[in-house]
Amino acid sequence: MFYRSLNIAFVLLIIYVSGCDTIIDTKEKPGNADRSAEFKIHLIDQTGHLEKIYGHPNVTNANVLLKSNTLGEEYNLVSDENGLVSINNIISDLYLVSTTRSMTRDEMEHITGHRLDFYRLVNSTIGTLELNAGNNQIIELPLDKLTFDSPILISEIYACGPPDAGLYFHDKYIEVFNQSDSIAYLDGIIIATVYVNSYLGISYEEDPEYVHVRRVWMFPGSGEDYPINPGEFKVCAADAIDHRVNAPNSVDLSEVSFEFYKDDAPDIDNPDITNMIKIHQRFSEVDWLISGEHGAIVIAQMNPDSLGWYDEHRLIPIEFVLDGVEYLDDVSRLDEKILTTQVDGGGTGGIQFYTGKSMERKLIRENGKYKLKDNNNSSLDFQINNRPTPEYHKEIGP
């Protein structure tokens, strides 16, 4: 045992010493072929998607992150028009490698028929690369998986109405959050309430392909008109007014980002606040509405012209759902869920009507940054606040 520890210590010492040498050598004599070298990594699409579009599998504009296993040095590289990444004067080592290539809307339209954001090609199998000096070579790295990460999450649902104001319920809202490290665009993203016909006892929970919805609205914009910055919250209010005028214990929503204005009803339109676009809601309902105690909301990214019909409600393919949250009057009754567990494994809530309480995603701190908890299970991901927190988080403040 002692011998083995000594042996490992000796090896580490050699790595450390040779590593120090290499850094000094590289700085003083760039291109020293004994210890550093030039490599090319060829990124090849194995999903067939790029080959179908461009006639070749070379992956251009891919981001490759290499991190030296011994010294921790990082290299951020981008592949050229031939799908090649060139690295000069890199120290021989085992490198952790991560490769990702964002898909453009044009490319996604070729693949799915829809202009979709947030898709990328990744390598899902290779975690490390051995780069050895004196052995200049082209290393082939396959991108084998098309994946999807929603930067936009539902961060808060305020649905129950304020206390001490009778049956006042016009202050409801939904809040969204940009979880990613870059600007995202809300343009065209759909907000819909999940529907089951509880009167007839019909549940669509088991529908494996579609979320059944009614009250379908969409953010305006034609692509890049409504940016949301990393870490930013945006509220869509039933009515974007200062509700404290009518209900002293309510909340001021007169300066939030978006408003649901139902133009076929006697609804309020704050001219200073951008209106959401109504895609589908019954004429007889006087405003955008979410249930006070038990309901579910999804956000989705798809062409609204492609929404299916079922009786008098609409269908969103589950693959286009960005996020979904269910809330229940009794959180222990997950058997009463109306949203498929593919989207939300649990349920938040337990809030009574007219208590002013709100459901907000929990805040976590990761590497000095704020993130919101998202395990696709709102039983675990959400907390109950005593007050709504429009366009901020309770733990951060307004």
Contact set with Ca ion (CB under 5 A): 156, 175, 238-239, 259-260, 267, 269-270, 273, 275, 287, 389
Nearest to Ca ion of 93, 156 (CB atom): 156
Q: Which is nearer to Ca ion, 259 or 344 (CB)?
A: 259
The distance of closest approach from Cβ of residue 389 to Ca ion in the complex, given in angstroms and rounded to an integer, is: 4
How near is the Cβ of 386 to Ca ion at its closest, in Å?
A: 13
Which C-beta is closer to Ca ion: that of 89 or that of 281?
281
Comparing CB distances to Ca ion, the nearer of 218 and 273 is: 273
Q: With respect to Ca ion, which residue has the nearer C-beta, 293 or 395?
A: 395
CB of 156 to Ca ion, least distance (A): 4
Cβ at position 260, least distance to Ca ion in Å? 5
Q: How far is the CB of 47 from Ca ion (least distance, A)?
A: 38
Least distance to Ca ion, CB of residue 219, Å: 13
Residue position matching structure tokens 């927190």: 389
155 burial via Cβ count (<10 Å: 0-12, 13-18, 19+) = buried
Q: Closest residue to Ca ion, Cβ-based?
A: 389
Residue nearer to Ca ion on the CB measure, 68 or 389: 389
